[in-house]
């Protein structure tokens, strides 16, 4: 088994020091570095501590040697595509987003910036997190098994207001939605 601590840590924008301090109890950056590189044994205790600090499931930190991981090999910048000095693992969205319930909205008809065939990965928000979704795309259930999708433009303790992505569509208001799911990643096949 290969550990993917470094890949997940970097994708979350954490330094060795950040991760060391986030562990409970805190540890040293050197210890985290040794665990990442395999020069120190990654025990079950360490696996749980690091997973907790990264906000992921412990099994997300391990991958099989038999299956090659997808790699980030280049970056598109202002000057065009540039090779990375060291390619790194492309971490799947479930790993990065932790244990929040996930769902996918499949786009069949072009609306706004979305094209047919797009898949929008959604993360269910806790009620107290709904404010962070203002001016972002969300999926909200309505009574009778229907949904509303679009830009969250207003929220209150009892309702959310959503502006659909299509031109000429009216704002929708949903009272006491059971949940709100925030669009966090768009997958578009070419």
Phi, psi angle pair for 117, to nearest 5°: 95, -15
Q: What are 163's strand-pairing partners?
A: 151
Structure tokens at 56: 């992921």
N residues, the chain: 190
Q: What is the pLDDT of residues 147-178, one digit of tens each?
A: 999 999 999 888 899 999 888 889 999 998 98
More confident residue, 86 or 160: 160
Residue ranges and CATH numbers for the domains of the chain are 2-90 (1.10.260.40), 102-187 (2.10.109)
Q: Provide the H-helix boundaries in 73-145.
A: 93-96
Neighbours of 34 (CB within 10 A): 14
Q: What is the mean pLDDT of residues 72-96?
A: 78
| Gap between the terminal Cα atoms of the chain | 33
Q: What is the mean pLDDT of the chain?
A: 86
Q: What percent of the chain has pLDDT over 90?
A: 41
Q: What is the pLDDT of residues 59-75, one digit of tens each?
A: 888 876 666 667 788 88
Residue 58 has pLDDT above 70, yes or no: yes
More confident residue, 69 or 188: 188
Residue 101 has pLDDT above 80, yes or no: no
């Amino acid at each position: 088994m290969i550990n993917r601590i470094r890949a997940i840590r970097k994708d979350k924008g954490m330094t060795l020091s950040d991760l060391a301090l986030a562990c409970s109890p805190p540890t040293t950056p050197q210890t985290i570095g040794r665990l990442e590189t395999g020069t120190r044994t990654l025990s079950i205790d360490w696996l749980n501590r690091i997973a907790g600090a990264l906000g992921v499931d412990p099994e997300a930190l391990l991958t099989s040697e038999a299956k090659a991981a997808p790699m980030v090999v280049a970056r598109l910048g202002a000057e065009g595509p540039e090779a990375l000095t060291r390619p790194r693992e492309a971490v799947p969205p479930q790993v990065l987003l932790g244990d929040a319930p996930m769902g996918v909205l499949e786009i069949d008809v072009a609306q706004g910036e979305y094209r047919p065939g797009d898949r929008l990965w959604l993360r269910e928000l806790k009620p107290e997190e709904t404010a962070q979704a203002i001016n972002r795309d969300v999926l909200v259930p309505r009574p009778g098994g229907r949904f509303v999708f679009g830009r969250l433009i207003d929220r209150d303790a009892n309702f959310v207001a959503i502006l659909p992505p299509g031109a000429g569509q009216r704002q929708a208001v949903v009272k006491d939605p059971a949940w709100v799911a925030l669009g966090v990643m768009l997958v578009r096949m070419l």
